[in-house]
Homo-oligomer: A and B are copies of this chain.
Amino acid sequence: MTGFARARVEKIIRNAGAKRVSADAIDRLNEILTNYGMNLAKYAVEIARHSGRKTVKESDIKLASTK
């Protein structure tokens, strides 16, 4: 699953200094970032529930990212 617009992912790779980028490199980074974001978000949801909240807050994301 890829969750982000290809143009945004390509921009990140170009900002990182790439002169040229293959299409499948963009797709691969998109997939990696989507999976990473999903795993982090799942953990943040668990943290929010554990705290008795239905709302995922910034502090949940922050804590999840330190895992």
**Chain A residues close to B by CB (< 8 Å):** 3-5, 8-9, 11-13, 15-22, 24-25, 27-29, 32-34, 36-38, 40-42, 44-45, 48, 54-58, 60-62, 65
Cα separation A45 to B55 with both chains bound (whole Å): 38
Q: How far is the CA of A53 from the CA of B27 in the complex (A)?
A: 19
**In the complex where A38-B15, A44-B13 touch, is A22 in contact with B62 (Cβ < 8 A)?**
no
Task: Count copies of this chain in the complex.
Answer: 2
Q: Are B65 and A25 in contact (CB under 8 A)?
A: no
Interface of A is mostly: helix
Chain B positions within 8 Å of A56 at CB level:
13, 18, 20-22, 25
In the complex, the answer to whether A21 meets B65 with C-beta atoms within 8 Å is no
